[in-house]
Copies of this chain bind each other. A is one copy, B any other.
Amino acid sequence: MSTSELHSRRTNGTSRAILDAARDLFAERGFEGTAVSDIAGVVGVADGAIYKHFPSKRAVLFEVIREFYEPVIDASESSLAGIDGIRNQLRYLIWLQLRAFAEEPEVCRLIIAEARPMEDYYQSEIAELNRRWTSLFVGVVSEGQATGDIRDDFPASLVRDLVYGGIEHIAWAATSGHGSIDPDRMADDLMRLVCEGLQPPPSSEDLDARVSRIEALLAEAER
């Protein structure tokens, strides 16, 4: 079984072709802007054939999103254990999300702007994937709070909302033509901001120096 088969339930045949065509068309024209017959036309089958493979147009969208989402989550779930330190783990998850937006902005747009406003989204498999994905993040934060690496005077879910909401905002603006995403730089900026906060780091040098001086003076005085 190939790597791709691990993550994709359909490796060839009409189902595969439908998903490929749908992904491209959805990305190009949006979900509403793509007719089922458009998809069928690109695949080269009759309209009705789509319904032998998927129960509805929406199911095609959800599957397109799943195919994009699931491998990332699978990979990160297994990779996370191999990363040392809470900070590194958080950075990894943030970087992964940023890279997804940078590489497949259209699919991300589909998720945010098309799938999420759908009324049955929260009952869908996509929402479940999203929960798996964000719970990875929450898990790391909670663990950090347990070990004391992360302060625990706010819920982990708040951090999740802040970080993922923030990434979406950043990516949305970038996708809308107001810039582009450099995952590495952006991950660094975000990590710094989220970990250390807005307040300037206490210039502990001064304190150090002064205490050191006192110590020196005292030590001398002692003799």
Give me the interface of A with B, judged by CB distance under 8 Å: 113-114, 116-117, 122, 141, 144, 148-151, 153-155, 158-159, 161-170, 173, 176-177, 189-190, 192-202, 204, 207, 210-211, 213-215, 217-222
Smallest CB-CB separation from A165: which chain B residue? B169
Number of copies: 4
Smallest beta-carbon distance A165→chain B, Å = 3
Sample of 18 more A-B contacts, CB < 8 Å, known A162-B193, A202-B204:
A113-B117, A122-B176, A122-B177, A150-B198, A150-B200, A151-B196, A161-B166, A164-B169, A165-B165, A165-B168, A166-B166, A193-B194, A193-B197, A194-B197, A195-B198, A214-B218, A217-B218, A218-B221
Smallest beta-carbon distance A30→chain B, Å = 8
Smallest CB-CB separation from A212: which chain B residue? B210
Smallest CB-CB separation from A219: which chain B residue? B217
Residues of chain B lying within 8 A (CB to CB) of residue A141: 198
Choice from B158, B196, B222 contacting A220 with Cβ under 8 Å: B222
Residues of chain B lying within 8 A (CB to CB) of residue A189: 154-155, 158
The 7 closest A-B pairs by CB, nearest first: A165-B169, A197-B197, A162-B166, A165-B165, A161-B169, A113-B117, A165-B166
Question: 28 A–B contact pairs at CB < 8 A?
Answer: A122-B177, A144-B198, A148-B200, A149-B200, A150-B198, A151-B200, A154-B192, A158-B166, A158-B170, A158-B190, A161-B170, A162-B163, A162-B166, A162-B169, A162-B190, A162-B193, A164-B165, A165-B167, A195-B199, A196-B199, A197-B197, A197-B198, A210-B211, A210-B215, A214-B214, A217-B218, A217-B222, A218-B221
Smallest beta-carbon distance A205→chain B, Å = 12
Smallest beta-carbon distance A174→chain B, Å = 10
Residues of chain B lying within 8 A (CB to CB) of residue A196: 151, 197-199
